Every structure is written in C-alpha cells, then in structure tokens.
Amino acid sequence: MPNPFLERKLKLDILKSLRSPAKREPRRTVTCSGCKTELEPDVFALALNVCPSCGLHMYISAAARFTNIFDGGEYSEPFPCAAPRDVLAFPGYAEKAAEQSAKSGLSDAGLAAEGKIGGTYAIAAAIDISFMMGSMGTSAGGTVTRAAESAASRGLPLVIFCAGGGARMQEGVFSLMQMIKTSAAIRRFSGGGGFYVSVITNPTTGGITASFASLADITLAEPGALFGFAGPRVIEQTIGEKLPQGFQSGEFQLDHGFVDAIVPRAEMRGTLARLLALHAGARI
C-alpha cells in the first residue's frame, strides 16, 4: 500500500539532502528489494519496514512486531527464548548457532510476549527469520507450545506471527516432533475455548504451514507473504511444474480458501484489536 505522506516525506528528505552539501556524504540507506527505491532508515522504520513506494512488506524483527501491536508499544516477555539444543550432536551446529546468535542478537527464532492489544490482554508469539531462516527446532517449537499452554491456563487469547522455512535440519527428527508438539498444544488450547489468531508473514512454508500456522480460528496474512507447504523451488525441482506468478501468496491462499483476510502491517494492530474485542464480547 503506497503511503502518500511517507512518500512525500521521503521526497522532501531527498531534496533537503541535496540542498545542503554537508549532508551529501554517503549515508546508509535501505534498498527496497522489490522496486529498488533507496529509503532513509528512519522512514523505513516509521513505515514498519514496508516500502512507501511499492508497498512491499519486507523483513521486520519479532521485537518490532510486538512494539507495533501492543498498546503504547508496551509488553513483557512471559519466558525467555531458549538456546538451540544440539540434540543430534550435529557437526558444526553449535558454531552455526553461535554465529547466528551473534548476528541476530537472538537466542533462537521463537519469541513470546504479552500485553494489551486495543485494551484486551493477550499472549503473542513470533518467529523471527533472522535466526537460521526461522526454522523450527526444539526452541521455537517450545516457544509456541509454552505460549499456547500459558494462554490456555490463563484464559487469554493467542496471536502467533508465523514465518519460517520449516524444520531445523540440524535437529533432525526432534524438529519433526515440534510439528506434533505445537499442534497438540494448539488443540488443547482450542479445546478449552481459547481464541487463536494466526498471522502469516513472509515466508511461511514446510513444517510451520503444516502445523500451528494452519490451525487458527482466524488466519490473517500480510500482503505478498509466501504461504505454502512445498516451496516453489521444491515443486519446480521435484515435479518440474512451472508455477504462475503469485502462486502461494497470501492473496492466492485467500482465493483458495486458506486465509481469512489480507492485512497490511500498518493495519495489523487495529485489526487484531478489533478481533480480540469481538471475541471478548461474545463471552456470556
């Protein structure tokens, strides 16, 4: 969604920077991976990492998502994100995890938060793809499970920002078991009357799609988010089928009946607040 105000601010900033020679030194800008527009970091952050020019929803951290949806940007962490467990003693995994942790500033990919969204108290979880592409190992599976269990025991609604390429290969079959573990936790939460909103973000595939991402009462998707089981490359390589433009996008899944609404990031807080309020209002 192009935002005319941000676009104008962007243009003004560019003009200002051209006017004063002192500011013409090379500044670090963000390049939109869609339309290649150069964006000032402040403008980019203000737009929640959505390109003001073409509307492309780019990567945003789990922490920034929480700040965006909780009232006043205030939330607390019900439990910390656990470090990866090298359950298979997989060659090089410990080093890779340490390197990813240093790069991303995260212990692993799954984070949890709690606070008020439009006045309704809720538990949220998010998969941050800056840690090993957001693949699900025992840590992220544990975060989703604990978030669901905590929401169940406290009678709170649950919001999960889904992402990730699927299984954490270095954790092998333990990673596969996370699909069952998280699905079982969502089933228990749901069986107890819990309300769960899943938000599909780019990209959500593999074991994430085939477990908690697809088990919500309401499923929202960010514009352009890839949402499927087998990724496009896997399909093209294994079956040799050419895929049309937009295959498996959130919009495609809306058309095919697997998503309830496409919600731009700027409207996420308002939409979640409305859904949570509607749910609370239904209680007798």
Partner 1 sequence: MKTPEQLAPYDRVKLARDAGRPGSDDYIAALIPDFFEIHGDRAFADDPAVICGIGTFGGRTVSVAATCKGRTIDERVRRNFGMAQPDGYRKFLRCLAQAVKFRRPLVTFIDTPGAYPGKSAEERGQGQAIAECLYQTSAAPVPVVTVVIGEGGSGGAIALGVADRIIMLENSVLSVLSPEGFASILWKDASRAAEAADVMKLTAADLLSFGVADTVIPEPRGGAGEAPKLMYRRVGAAVRDALAELSQLTETELLEARYRRYGSFG
What residue ranges bind partner 1 (CB under 8 A)?
A: 85, 87-88, 90-91, 137-139, 141-142, 145, 167, 169, 172-181, 183-188, 191, 205-207, 209-215, 228-230, 234-235, 238-239, 241, 243, 247-248, 256-258
Residue 32 or 179: the one with the smaller Cβ distance to partner 1 is: 179
Closest CB 235 distance from partner 1, rounded Å: 5
Residue 34 or 232: the one with the smaller Cβ distance to partner 1 is: 232
Residue 175 or 202: the one with the smaller Cβ distance to partner 1 is: 175
Which CA distances in Å does 217 have to 40, 94, 160, 266, 282?
A: 38, 37, 12, 22, 14
- Ordered alpha helix ranges (H), 70-222: 93-104, 138-154, 172-191, 206-209
Closest CB 172 distance from partner 1, rounded Å: 5
Closest CB 105 distance from partner 1, rounded Å: 22
Within 128-282, strands assigned E span: 158-164, 196-204, 218-221, 261-262
Residue 3 or 214: the one with the smaller Cβ distance to partner 1 is: 214
Which CA distances in Å does 10 have to 1, 22, 266?
A: 15, 19, 17
Radius of gyration of the chain from Cα atoms? 20
As a whole number of angstroms, the distance between CA 230 and CA 96 comes to 25
Closest CB 120 distance from partner 1, rounded Å: 25
Residue 129 or 185: the one with the smaller Cβ distance to partner 1 is: 185
Closest CB 284 distance from partner 1, rounded Å: 24
Closest CB 156 distance from partner 1, rounded Å: 20
Closest CB 84 distance from partner 1, rounded Å: 10
Single-letter amino acid, residue 96: K
Q: String of b and e for 202-239 (b: at least 16 CB within 10 Å)?
A: bbbbbbbbbbbbbbbebbbbbbbbbbbbbbbeebeeee
| DSSP tag of 194 | -
Tokens encoding 10? 């962007």
Residue 172 or 223: the one with the smaller Cβ distance to partner 1 is: 172
As a whole number of angstroms, the distance between CA 273 and CA 70 comes to 9
Closest CB 5 distance from partner 1, rounded Å: 38
User: Beta strand 38-39 with 110-117: parallel, antiparallel or unpaired?
Assistant: unpaired
Residue 184 or 278: the one with the smaller Cβ distance to partner 1 is: 184
CA–centroid distance for 222 within its chain: 9
User: Beta strand 120-127 with 110-117: parallel, antiparallel or unpaired?
Assistant: antiparallel
Instruction: Give me the residue label for tokens 């807080």.
Output: 269
Residue 38 or 255: the one with the smaller Cβ distance to partner 1 is: 255
